[in-house]
Amino acid sequence: MADYLKPLPIPAPESEPFWAGARDHKLLMQKCASCGKFWFPPGTICPHCGAAEFAWTETSGRGRVFTFVTYQRLYNKAWEGELPYVVAIVELEEGPRMLTAITGIDAADVVCD
């Protein structure tokens, strides 16, 4: 990650497996051993049923744009030269919604499903 120039998060203990997966280009989320549902952001118990047993499980990485914003103004120099850029909440096939940057597509072409 030496060539990555954007700000990096400082993981909390409960989110470290998520960030370790991201470093390996995998989208890992917690999946409840009791009810089988995924959740995000990471936590210590299932928000659906309250169970404390879970496994970090790789997701498909596929989803739909739930909502988004297109940034036309530079708020952090790390994104200099990348305007406009899109930040979205994506609803994953597995259920959870997460905040992410949309890349690989022109900002004007991003739409909500």
| Nearest Cα to Cα of residue 30 among 17, 39, 19, 22 | 39
Looking at residue 2, its pLDDT comes to 60
Task: Identify which has the larger pLDDT, 6 or 96.
Answer: 96
Looking at residue 1, its pLDDT comes to 54
Residue 38: band (very low, low, confident or very high) from pLDDT cuts 50, 70, 90: very high
- Calculate Rg over the CA atoms of the chain: 16
pLDDT (mean) for 2-12? 83
Query: What is the pTM for the complete model shown?
Result: 0.86
pLDDT at 21 over 60: yes
Residue 45: band (very low, low, confident or very high) from pLDDT cuts 50, 70, 90: very high
